[in-house]
Structure 1
Amino acid sequence: MRLSHTRLIGALLIGTSLAAAPALAKDYPAELAGHAVLPAATFVPPPSDAPESLAVSGRFAEPAKGRNETVGSIKGTSFLSDKTAPRETGLSLPFKGQPVQGFSGIKTLANGNFIVLTDNGFGSKANSSDAMLMFHELKADWTAGKVDRVGTKFLHDPDRKLPFVIVNEHTPRRYLTGADLDIESIQPIGDSLWFGDEFGPYLVRTDLDGKVTGFFETRVDGKVVRSPDHYGMTTPAVPGAVTFEVRRSRGFEGMAAAVDGKLLYPLLEGPLWDAAAKTWEMKDGREYLRILEFDVARGAYTGRSWKYRLELNDNNIGDFNMIDAATGLIIERDNGEGDPATACNGPARPDCQNVPARFKRIYKIDLTQADAEGFVKKVGYIDLMRIADPKKLARTATRDGVFTFPFVTIEDVAIVDADHIIVANDNNLPYSSGRQIGRQDDNELILLRVPELLRAQ
């Protein structure tokens, strides 16, 4: 998920009271084992056969104001800024080239590198029609603290597998943009890549070059579910004439794959609409999310699903990857950014964080220990706001030997080995400033040693 100006402060308060719930998951330690950074201002040119219009990105960053062709003329400010005290990020739109940013989904490759994707673009359908959809192979140099981009592939649909009109409809290659899909999760299986999308929500399959080879609607309890951005939805002529089951930008944020590659587990970021109760799905006052099961060989949902209970209503999911056949890791986070020590004490100002980060966790869940109602067991968690750094590996300042990962959108987690996981942020270029006030966040990758969490039962 990339934050948009329509999803701001209302869901940011952390003081939500907890209703009666299962036993609390155990808090496990995390130790920093590596920290590598890809600078925010990292760009790639579009492919040589792409339309000329894609040589510049971000021209529609302010849809209400229309097109802006002047490179660097729109100042970036944090999505979470108070309108009366905008916090600038130091980067300005439009950009020459395509930004390598917005990592939302990661997987460890056999060679030790990582595959990541660049998601929607600049936050919505309306402002991302010149943002290309792409994925990258990255190599982390933990010793030097640097990230190398080994290669980049761009999603395209020359065989017209997508059943709707796209921005580059009448071009030979038909490159996809953030106005076509909002890809948020990635899983390589055999000779294919599978992407979870938020707009539909949909599942999209491509070959290893990024060419679309399959498109799949989402079914829950045997019925197709849609968001307001589904291709079949239209603007109503009268109020209340259209209904949908998935909230905007709450489609498939995370999507795990079974270790044998036979099944996918796409996870909705938000609860479904309960038409009977006239509210979003919840249990005992707590919202819950659906984990679905998809058969890769059949290209169809199995009908089986689980429920993931949020710790706090309005929290979001960042990513989901399996550890083994039974257990997986899920990022659950609030919508704040910045160390609480930099919080504004009083009215919002541009030199302090008006909505600081407080809840940034990675939970281990067990699908086989789900209860009778299908709620997965939360075995334990690590706190990304409290990472030990005894070896002083952090590339940024720590406080009393504690390293924090205070980004609003933390959207990448995957297993590296029996003791380590990798975590990365979506830096919302140029709209996030969580690490340092007044400076656009970089793409940060951290290697965490978490053996106790990975072995917990």
Structure 2
Amino acid sequence: MRTPGRFALAVSVAALTIGLSASTAGATPTFGQATLTGFAVLPARTFVPGSEPAGAALGTAPVNGVALPFADQPVQGFSGVLRNSDGTFDVISDNGFGNKANSGDFLLRIHRLAPDFASGKVDVVGGITLTDPDARIPFALTRPDRVLTGSDFDIESITRTPDGSYWIGDEFGPYLLHVDRAGRVLQAPIPLPGVKAPESHELEVGEKPNLGSSKGFEGMVKSVDGKYLYPLLEGTVAGDAPGALRFNEFELRSGAYTGKRWTYQLESPSNSIGDAIAVDPDRFLVVERDNLQGAAAAFKKIFLVDRRDRDKDGKMDKTVVADLLSLANPQHLAGAGDTFTFPHQCVEDLVILDDRTLGVLNDNNLPFSAGRVPGQADPNEFITIRLSERLHAYEQAKS
């Protein structure tokens, strides 16, 4: 799927009509039903060949039918995605098995995926492990060889700059990490001023954190002009309104936060965001989800948000563009009927493929999530969906 060179910026009359009618009724503006157009699966039991054992802290009792511990590193936990020009995608695996204490033998890695929607399969065609050979990180790491693990960082979001280097959002600090195209750390982790999670190395003795555990940078946007990053917190900072998430601005040229920020308001304080991506200079797509799975899942939506705050309520404006629990499925893909659901606990990867088509992936939390089949560990699923309206987006840079 190729992206057109540049999309028109004008908003269609049809989209305006939908937004105005919904606003008049006092409800969140909503596109029509989105349609499932592609489905591909990477099996849960997919491992990096010839790698190291993992999951020693998980015990030996099987979980959701998966034997533990693992003889090799599992390819799992996708929490950020980037599109490449050759049809492949780079994805990051997060901290491993859920927390700092149990993920010391999980190696942080960027995997390269090649989905084939005709066959319904996803191939892993490469990847890099994150390392700090030049000791840029000023605090102690888990391993003496300075290979980064899930006990060092909880990486959840990623973007890339034209030189091929990656910027990665971490939840433990929260920190911004900058690594080269081989995964080597280029500079000391950059903390978010005034915000500290319990795992942060910036906490002073006796200081209390003001952000929940692993509630840091779940989403991170690169501006369409390539000048800024906009990391979005997953959790609410102490003292902020319930469900209010900070959307911060970081300037790449100066390597510092500008002090500007906006507010993304969750539909429920118990919800979480999963990912974020730029549409144009002022609009972004954000995945918002509940923390339930399978039949219990009730909220998995993608919002188009506008930081211009046209209703002047102090929060970014929101429009629902897709309900992932109610996708039209006229082709009956994935063996489903007329309606397809994406009922995974963690929906954490979003990519724009063209002006009406999005790619969405889940974080399968191997071996813990079982949203597709009860008692059976979830695979990593890669779906494509077609929106009922155009986004009128700038082309998303592939670099």
TM-score by length of 1: 0.77
- Identify the match of residue 362 of structure 1 among 302, 324, 329: 302
Q: Secondary structure at the match of 2:262?
A: strand
Counting only pairs closer than 5 Å after superposition, residues 16-415 of structure 1 correspond to structure 2 as: 23-45=27-49, 55-61=52-58, 73-76=60-63, 89-168=64-143, 170-171=144-145, 174-191=146-163, 192-219=165-192, 223-233=193-203, 241-274=206-239, 281-282=240-241, 286-339=242-295, 356-369=296-309, 372=312, 374-393=314-333, 395-398=334-337, 401-415=338-352
Rounded Cα–Cα distance in structure 2 between residues aligned with 1:46 and 1:368: 50
Q: Residues 420-445 of structure 1: CA distance to partner in whole angstroms, max 9, x if unpaired?
A: 10000000000010000121100000
1:418 corresponds in structure 2 to: 355
| Structure 2 CA distance for partners of 1:41 and 1:438, relative to 1, 3 Å | same
Cα distance in 2 between the residues matched to 1:199 and 1:112: 32
Amino acid of the residue matched to residue 56 of structure 1? P
Partner of 1:4: none
2:65 is paired with a residue whose SS is: strand
What is the Cα deviation at residue 455 of structure 1?
Answer: 4.5
Number of residue pairs matched?
368
Segments of 4+ moved more than 2 angstroms: 214-219, 368-374, 453-456
Structure 1 letter corresponding to 2:211 = V
SS at match of 1:135: strand
1:180 Cα deviation after fit: 0.4
CA–CA distance in 1 between the matches of 2:176 and 2:249? 12
**Distance verdict in 2 for CA 1:302–1:232, change over 3 Å:** closer
d(CA) in 1 for partners of 2:113, 2:310: 35
- Residue of structure 2 aligned with 1:435, choices 348, 355, 372: 372
Distance 2:303 2:390 in 1: 9
CA RMSD of aligned residues (A): 1.9
Q: 1:396 deviation in Å?
A: 3.9
| Per-residue deviation, 1:28 | 2.8
Gaps of 5+ in 2: 1-24, 394-399
Aligned partners of 1:57 and 1:380: how far apart in 2? 39
Maintained 8 Å contact 1:216/1:299: no
Q: Describe the SS at the equivalent of 1:93.
A: coil
Which segments of 5 or more consecutive residues in structure 1 lack a partner in the other structure?
1-20, 48-54, 63-72, 77-88, 275-280, 340-355
Q: 2:304·2:319 contact (CA, 8 Å) conserved in 1?
A: yes
What letter matches 2:62 in structure 1? K
Question: Structure 2: how far apart are the matches of 1:61 and 1:215?
Answer: 31
Q: What is the alpha-carbon distance in structure 2 between the residues aligned to residue 448 and residue 323 of structure 1?
A: 16
User: In structure 2, how many angstroms separate the alpha carbons of the residues matched to 1:370 and 1:230?
Assistant: 36
Residues 245/111 of structure 1: CA separation in 2 closer, same or farther (3 Å cut) = same
Q: Distance in 2 between matches of 1:453 and 1:120?
A: 35
Checking the alignment, whether the CA contact within 8 Å between 2:115 and 2:122 is kept in structure 1 is: yes
Question: Sequence identity, in percent?
Answer: 45
SS where residue 92 of structure 1 aligns? coil
Task: Summarize deviations over 1:374-416 as a string: whole Å, max 9, x none.
Answer: 41110333110000010122x2433xx0000000001011101
Say if 2:236 and 2:245, in contact at 8 Å, map to a contact too.
yes
- Which letter maps to 1:97? D
* 1:60 counterpart SS class: helix
Residue in structure 2 matched with residue 349 of structure 1 by the alignment: none
SS in 1 for 2:62: strand
Distance 1:163 1:141, change over 3 A: same
Q: What is the CA–CA distance in structure 1 between the aligned matches of 2:135 and 2:49, rounded to whole Å?
A: 24
